Amino acid sequence: MSKFRKNGGKELPPISTASLPDIVFMILFFFMVSTTMREQELKVKVNVPQATELTKLEKKSLVCYLYIGPPQRQFVAKMGNAERIQLNDKFATKADIPAFIQAERDARDEAERPFMVYSLKVDENTPMLIVGEVKQELRKMAALSINYSAKKAVER
């Protein structure tokens, strides 16, 4: 009749999983709040340059993206290696830019249109020729507020 007798046969109670959903929901809410929906599938490789004097783009709904860079590997056979412009989900040329901007404007509220920002996501190895052409098109469409997308540079 010792006190330290083993409780022979008594099984370890299973760990309660009742709180598991709560934990997962917590993680879920964290991700829902801190992330944004993926905009579109990238068909061009864009490795944006680094910079230090960055400003964040606040109103996501007012930003419209233009991508410039060499096509992704699976499109090289069709499109070649040269840098291309991507608007929405398609490859485009500079001639498509006015229509694209018009469509983007029409999609926004009238009052919000003056505050639209055009974010240029350009690969760092792109020659300025193509960037210059895009900028000219933007100027012609009076889309003057632009943002050169860049990563935060690591401090040296």
Partner 1 sequence: MARKVPEIPSASLADIAFMLLIFFLVTTTMDVDSGLRRKLPPFVPEQQDDTPPIKKRNIFEVLVNKDNMLLVEGDICRLEDLRGKAKEFLNPNLEGENLPEKKTEYVEFFGDTKVLTGSAVISLRNDLDTKYGVYLAVQNELIAAINDLRNDLAKKKFGKLFESLESEQQKAIKKIYPQKISEAEPKKVGGK
Sites of contact with partner 1 (CB under 8 A): 17-18, 20-21, 24-25, 27-28, 31-32, 34-39, 48-57, 60, 63, 68, 117, 119-120, 122-129, 131-132, 135-136, 138-140, 142-152
DSSP letter string, 68-120: EEPBPGGGHHHH-SS-EEEETTEEE-GGGHHHHHHHHHHHS-GGGGGG-EEEE
Specify the 3-state DSSP secondary structure of 137. Answer: helix
Q: Cβ of residue 13: shortest distance to partner 1, in angstroms?
A: 16
Q: Cβ of residue 111: shortest distance to partner 1, in angstroms?
A: 20
Q: Cβ of residue 125: shortest distance to partner 1, in angstroms?
A: 6
Q: Count of CB atoms within 10 A of residue 49's CB?
A: 14
39 vs 112, which CB is nearer to partner 1? 39
88 vs 119, which CB is nearer to partner 1? 119
Q: Cβ of residue 90: shortest distance to partner 1, in angstroms?
A: 20
Residues sharing a CB contact under 8 Å with residue 101, sequence separation 6 or more, in sequence order? 64, 118, 138, 141, 143
